[in-house]
Amino acid sequence: MRERIDAALRQAVETKDKRRAATLRLLLAAIQDRESRSRELGRDGIKETDLQEILDKMVDQRSRSIRDFEESGQLELAEQERDEVAVIREFLPKQFDEHAMQEACEDIVRDISAKGLRDMGRCMSALKTRYPGQMDFVRASCVVKDLLRSE
């Protein structure tokens, strides 16, 4: 993923797309920060899942900023944040739509033989392991909860 971000940055610089280049530089800075922290702890850099976590966090931060900017009437800043979110999402795995998420949740509940709300944690853990970064796990937890209630 890092190579894709580097290549996208080079292209943005070549095409003089300043906003995109700035967003990609922020991504790389966040990745480098996490890598240096990881090395300080004696690890060999970071994994792909760590990269996804970084990007997810950046999308969440910008989503909150968009909401705040819209509430305060700063629509131009909200639009800038939306542009940044679009750039960041290019490097995240494609998100499941509602139907695919429903099917994935049903598969997990069936595969681990979940029998009630007490199995909620096991279901969510299995979902996060099997489909990292591919769905909104807050929404997925609502789907799983509904499925387990009907068990």
**pLDDT (mean) for 72-101:** 92
Question: Average pLDDT of the chain?
Answer: 91
Please state the domain count of the chain.
Answer: 2
Residues 58, 110: one domain? no
102-110 contacts at long range (C-beta below 8 A, 24 or more positions apart): 102/143, 104/130, 104/131, 104/135, 104/140, 105/140, 105/143, 105/144, 105/147, 106/147, 108/144, 109/144, 109/147, 109/148, 109/151
Same domain, yes or no: 71 and 123: no
Same domain, 80 and 107: no
Assess contact for 82 and 66: CB atoms under 8 A. yes
What is the pLDDT, as a whole number, of residue 150? 82
pLDDT band at 68 (very low <50, low <70, confident <90, very high): very high
Q: Are residues 25 and 74 in the same domain?
A: yes
Question: Which residues constitute the domain of residue 72?
Answer: 2-89
Q: Note whether 47 and 118 are same-domain residues.
A: no
CATH number for the domain spanning 136: value is 1.10.10.410
* 85 in the same domain as 121: no
pLDDT at position 26: 94
Q: Are residues 61 and 122 in the same domain?
A: no
pLDDT bucket at 151, cuts 50 / 70 / 90: low
Query: Residue 35's domain is classified under what CATH number?
Result: 1.10.1510.10
**Per-residue confidence band for 85, with pLDDT thresholds at 50, 70 and 90:** very high
Mean pLDDT, residues 23-32 taken together: 94
| Statement to judge: residues 84 and 117 lie in one domain | no
